[in-house]
Copies of this chain bind each other. A is one copy, B any other.
Amino acid sequence: MHSLNNLIIEFYDKLSSWEQSVVKDTGYSLAQVHTIEVLGSHGPMRMKELADRLGITTGTLTVQVEKLVQFGLIVRTPHEVDRRSILVELTSEGTALHKHHNRMHLQLTEDITRHLDPESIKVLTQSFEKMNREF
């Protein structure tokens, strides 16, 4: 258990470093790419929901979104029923960035699992499913 704990911490650290270097190559900041990632994987959403998912306040997000709009990565559209809200969604350029980032992630997953046999990958997948449920 102790060693598994250390391995998880090490895994997390290495993933952080990897993410940082991959993001740097895009020319956008970590916070910016993270925002794109959330929108890309969950679809358009309100400011409030996006802020919650990112773990930041809506005040911070307002500024962040402003920049991403200027970059042409996202657009703001009024919410159809709630006029207080606005929907944030990716432009085609934002979608392209998300897809690119996703491909990097997939490539990493392939790279780090290349010495695992099919049975281990199966157990690993099931274990991640169970662990993710317990957070």
Contacts from A to B (Cβ < 8 Å): 1-5, 7-12, 14-18, 20, 41, 55, 105-106, 109-116, 120-121, 123-132, 134-135
Contact = CB atoms under 8 A, between A and B. Distances in A.
Contact of A15 (B12, B115, B121, B123): B12
Determine chain A's interface SS by DSSP, over half rule: helix
Given A55-B20, A112-B134, A124-B123, A106 B7 contact: no
A106 B113 CA distance: 25
A9 B15 CA distance: 9
A9 B98 CA distance: 14
Contacts of A10: 128, 132
B123 A135 contact: no
A76 to B, nearest CB: 24
A4 B113 contact: yes
A104 to B, nearest CB: 10
Contact of A12 (B12, B55, B111, B126): B12
A112 B134 CA distance: 5
